[in-house]
Structure 1
Amino acid sequence: MSSDPWGRVDETGTVYVRTADGEQVVGSWQAGSPEEALAYFERKYEGLVVEIGLLEKRVKTTDLSAKDAQAAIDHIREQVDAHHVVGDLDALRVRLDKLVELVEARREERKAQRAKQSDEARHAKEALVAEAEELSQSDQWRAAGERLRALVDTWKGLPRLDRKSDDELWHRFSHARSAFSKRRKQHFAQLDAQREEARKTKERLVSEAEALSNSTDWGVTAARYRELMSEWKAAGRAQREHEDDLWNRFRGAQDVFFAARSSVFAERDAEQSENLKLKEELAEEAEKLLPISDLKAARAAFRNVNERWEAIGHVPRDARPKVEGRMHAVERAIQEAEEAEWRRTNPEARARAEGLTGQLQAAVDKLRGQIEQARAQGNNARADKLQRELDGRQALLDQALKGLQEFGG
C-alpha cells in the first residue's frame, strides 16, 4: 500500500483522498504502481489548482460577467466534489468560496456603477430635454437648429435608461424639436410670403423708375424718385435670387435720369453764371443814376437798363437776392423821387394842404385872443384850459406847414 499526506492506494488498487469529512474514494488504478496512481491523480489536482488560479485572475482583471464567473465556479466545484483528484480539496473549496464572495462583490460594485451611470445618464438626458425645450422657443433659427442637432448626437451617445423613463424623456425631447421645426417652418413660410410680396412691389417700383428715366421734368421726377426710394426701403427684401437684379434695374433707371439732369444742370449753371455777370454789369450801370438830379432822364435810363435786364435769363439761385436787391434799390429811389415830385406838383393836394393850414392858423389865432381875454378877466383856470387846447392845435399847424413846404410853398 502507498500513501502521501492527501491520499493513498490500498492493496486492491483503490485510490483514496483525505478530506475534513474523512477519506473519499477517488477511483481504481490497475495500470501501474501505487506511486504512479498517486502521481496521476495529483497532476489532475494541480490542473484544478491552475484552473482556479486562472479563474481568479479573470474575475479580478477582466469584465467577466458575474453569471459566467459563477458558472465557471460551479463547474470547478463539481470536479472538486467528485473527488477524482488527490490533494487539498478543502483548500480548493475555500478558494472557490472566496471566489464566490469576490464575484458577488464585483456584482454589487457593477450594479452600483450601473446605477450611478444610469443616474448620470438620467440627469444628462433631463438637461438635454430642458435645453431642447428652451431652444424650441428661440428665434435664432440657424444657431438653435444646429444646437438641437448637436443635442441629438449627444443623446445617442448616452446609455439607455429603463424603458418608461427613457421613453418619457425622449417624447419630451422629440416634442421640443418638433415644436421648433414647426415654428421655424411657419416663420420661413411667412418670410417667403413677405419676400414674394416685396418682389411684386419692387417689380412695380422698377417699372415706374424705368418709365421715368427719360423724363425732363427735373424737379417733379427727382421728387418722385425720392418717394420711390422710400417705398423701396419700406418694401423689405425680396428673394435673394431676385433682389440684386431688381436693385440693379431700379438703380440703373435712376442713374439714367440723374445723369441727364446733371448734364442739363451743368450746362444751365454755366449759362446762369454768364447771366449773373451780365446782370451785375447792368446793376452797376443803374446805380450810376443815383443820386437823381434829372428825374425824367433817370426814369428813361432805368427803363432801358430794365428792358435789357428782363431779356437776360436766370441767374444762380444763391446769387439772385443780392443782384436783384441792387436793382430794386435804384428802382425804389426813382419811385420815391416820383412821389415827391407828384406831391409837389399836384394842385388838388396843394389846395387841400393850404386850406387845412388856413383853418388851423385861424383856430390858433382865435385861441390866443381868448386866452388873453381870460387872463385879463383873472380867469386863470379857463386860460390854462384854453392854453392846452392851443398847444394841440399849434402842433397840428406845425405838421401841416411842414407838409405844405413839400409842395414848394
Structure 2
Amino acid sequence: MSSDPWGRVDETGTVYVRTADGEKVVGSWQAGSPDEALAYFERKYEGLVVEIGLLEKRVKTTDLSSKDAMAAIDHLREQVDAHHAVGDLDALRTRLDKLVALVEKRREERKAQRARQSDEARQAKEALVAEAEELAQSDQWRAAGERLRALVDTWKGLPRLDRKSDDELWHRFSHARSAFSKRRKQHFAQLDAQREEARRTKERLVAEAESLSNSTDWGPTAARYRELMSEWKAAGRAQREHEEDLWNRFRGAQDVFFAARSSVFAERDAEQAENLKLKEELAGEAEKLLPITDLKAARAAFRALNERWEAIGHVPRDARPKVEGRMHAVERALQEAEEAEWRRTNPEARARAEGLTGQLQAAVDKLKGQIEQARAQGNTAKAEKLERELEGRQALLDQALKGLQEFGG
C-alpha cells in the first residue's frame, strides 16, 4: 500500500483521492508499483492545473466570449468532478468557481458597455437625424448636399441598434435626404426654366442692340441702350454656355454705336470750341461799348455784333452760361439806358411823377402834423401808430423823388 497527502493505493491496486467529502475512487492500477500509480494520476492533476491556469489567463487577458469561457469551465469541471486525478481537487473547484464569478463579472461589464455603446449610438444617430432634418430645409444646395453625404458615412460607421429603433431612425434619416433631394431638384428645374427665359429675353435684347448699332439718332438711341442695359440686368443669367456669347454680342453692338457717336461728338466738340473762341471775342467787343455815352451809336453797334453772334453755331454746354451772360449784361445796360432816355423825354410820365410826388409830400406833411398833435395830447399809442405809417409814406416819397430826378427835375 502507498499514499501521499492527496491520495493512496490499496492492496488491490485501487487508487483513491482525498476530498472534503471523503475519499473518491480515482481508478485501478495493475501495471506497476503503487508509487507509479500515484505519479501517473498526479500528472493528470498537474495537467488540470495547467489547463485551468491557461483558461484563467485567457479570461483575464483576451476578449474570450462568456459563452466559450463557460463551456471551457464546464469541461474542466467535469474532469475535476470525474476524480481521475490525484491532488487538491477542491482547490481546483474553488479556482473554477472564482473563474465563473470573473466570467459573470466580465459578462455584466460587457453588457453594460454594450448598453452604453448602444445608448451612445442611439444619441449619435438621433443627432444625425436631427441635423439631416434641419438640412432638408436648407437652400445652401452644395454645402448641405455635401454635409448630408458626410452624415451617411458617419451613420455607416455607427453600430446598429435594436431592429425597431434602427429602422425608425433610418426611415427619418432617409426621408430627410429624400426631401432635400426633391427640393434641390425642383430648385434647379425652376432655375433652368428661369435661365431659359433669360436666354430668350437676352436674345431679343441682343437683336435690338444690333439693329441700333448703326443709328445716328444719338440722343434717343443712347437712351434706348441704357434702357436695354437695365432690362439685361433685370433678366437674370442665362445658361453658362450661352451667357458669355450673348453678352459679347450685346456689348459689341453698343461699342459700335458709342464709338461712332464719340467720333462725331469729338468733331462737334472741336467745332464748338472754335465757336466759343469767336463768341468770347464778340462779347469782348460788346463790353467795350460800356459805359454808354452815345445811345444811338451803341445800339447800332450792338445790333451788328448780335447778328454776327447769331451766325455762329453752338458752344460747349458748360461754357454757354458765362459767355452768354457777358452779352446779356451789355444788352441790359442798353435797355436801362433806353428806359432812362424814355423817361427823361416823356412829358406825360414826368407829369405823373410830379403829381405822385406832390401827393406823397402832402400825405407826409399831414402825418407829421397829426403826430405832433397826438403827442401834445399825450396819446403815445396813436403817435407811434402814425409814425409807423409815416415811415412807409416817407419811403414811397423818397422813391418817387429819385424817379423824378431821372427826368432831370
TM range (shorter): 0.7 to 0.9
Q: What is the distance in 2 between the residues matched to 1:353 and 1:123?
A: 108
Give the whole-Å Cα distance in 1 for the aligned partners of 2:147 and 2:296: 96
Question: Structure 1 residues 397, 59: closer, same or farther in 2, change over 3 A?
Answer: closer
Q: How many residues align?
A: 409
Structure 1 21/372 Cα, relative in aligned 2: closer, same or farther at 3 Å? closer
TM-fit CA distance, 1:122: 1.3
Cα 1:253–1:24, aligned 2, differ >3 Å: closer, same or farther?
Answer: same
Distance 1:105 1:234, change over 3 A: same
Residues 378 and 228 (structure 1), Cα distance of their counterparts in 2 relative to 1, 3 Å cut: closer
In structure 2, C-alpha distance between the alignment counterparts of 1:389 and 1:48, rounded to whole Å: 144
Tell me, in whole angstroms, the C-alpha distance in 2 between the residues paired with 1:378 and 1:16. Answer: 163
Cα displacement (A) at 1:397? 15
CA distance in 2: counterparts of 1:387 and 1:60, whole angstroms: 126
Task: Using the TM superposition, give the Cα deviation of residue 158 of structure 1 relative to its aligned residue in structure 2, in angstroms.
Answer: 1.4
1:139: how far off?
1.9
TM-score w.r.t. structure 1 length?
0.81
Q: Structure 2 vs 1, CA of residues 372 and 65 (structure 1 numbering), >3 Å: closer, same or farther?
A: closer
Q: Deviations over 1:299-341 (max 9, x none)?
A: 4433332232222111011111222222233344455666677
How far off is 1:105 after superposition?
1.4
Q: Which moved more, 1:82-91 or 1:358-367?
A: 358-367
Using the TM superposition, give the Cα deviation of residue 119 of structure 1 relative to its aligned residue in structure 2, in angstroms. Answer: 1.3
What do residues 15-57 of structure 1 show as CA deviations (whole Å, max 9, x unaligned)? Answer: 2222223332222223322212211111111011100011111
> Aligned equivalents of 2:58 and 2:253: distance in 1?
86
- How big is the shift at 1:199? 2.0
Larger mean CA deviation between 74-83 and 60-69 belongs to 74-83
User: Secondary structure of the residue that 1:139 maps to in structure 2?
Assistant: coil
**What secondary structure sits across from 1:16 in the alignment?**
strand
- Secondary structure of the 1:23 match is strand
Q: Is residue 2:242 matched to residue 1:242?
A: yes
Partner of 2:260: 260
Pick which of 184-193 and 396-405 moved more: 396-405
Over 3 Å counting, the alpha-carbon distance change for 1:8 and 1:146 in structure 2 is same
Tell me the residue number matched to 2:153: 153
Q: TM-score, normalised by structure 2?
A: 0.81
Q: Which moved more, 1:82-91 or 1:59-68?
A: 82-91
Question: What whole-Å deviation, never above 9, does each CA across 1:272-320 have from its counterpart, x for those lacking one?
Answer: 1111111111122233334455555444433332232222111011111
Distance 1:314 1:22, change over 3 A: same
- Distance (whole Å) between structure 2 residues aligned to residue 312 and residue 195 of structure 1: 55
User: What is the CA deviation profile of residues 181-217 of structure 1, one whole-angstrom value per residue up to 9, with x for unaligned ones?
Assistant: 2222222222222222222222222222222222222
Q: CA deviation at 1:258?
A: 2.3
- Counterparts in 2 of 1:277 and 1:14: CA distance versus 1, 3 Å: same
Mind listing any 5+ residue stretches in structure 1 that lack a counterpart?
Answer: none
Aligned counterparts of 2:127 and 2:369: Cα–Cα separation in 1: 121
Distance 2:129 2:113 in 1: 24
How far the C-alpha of 1:138 sits from its partner, in A, is 1.8
Which residue in 1 is equivalent to 2:141? 141
User: In structure 2, do the counterparts of structure 1 residues 390 and 106 end up closer, same or farther at CA, with 3 Å as the change threshold?
Assistant: closer
Q: Distance in 2 between matches of 1:132 and 1:373?
A: 103
Q: Deviations over 1:191-244 (max 9, x none)?
A: 222222222222222222222222222221221122122212222222233333
| Structure 2 Cα separation of the partners of residues 127 and 330 of structure 1 | 90
Structure 2: distance between partners of 1:377 and 1:114: 122
Corresponding residue for residue 311 of structure 2: 311
Summarize the Cα distance change of 1:344–1:3 in structure 2 as closer, same or farther, 3 Å threshold. Answer: closer
Deviation (angstroms), 1:270: 1.9
* TM-superposed deviation, 1:382: 24
Inter-partner Cα distance in structure 1 for 2:323 and 2:73: 123
Per mean C-alpha deviation after superposition, the further-off stretch among 395-404 and 69-78 is: 395-404
Stretch deviating more after TM superposition (389-398 or 43-52): 389-398
Compute the displacement of 1:59 (Å): 0.9
Q: Does the residue aligned with 1:18 lie in a helix, a strand or coil? A: strand
Instruction: Quote the residue 1:402 is aligned against.
Output: 402
Separation in structure 2 between the aligned mates of residue 367 and residue 64 of structure 1, nearest angstrom: 133
For 1:203, the equivalent position in structure 2 comes to 203
Q: 1:285 to 1:15 in 2, by over 3 A?
A: same
Q: CA deviation at 1:113?
A: 1.2
Distance 1:386 1:305, change over 3 A: closer
- % identity of equivalent residues: 93
Q: 1:132 to 1:368 in 2, by over 3 A?
A: closer
Change (3 A) 1:356 1:21: closer
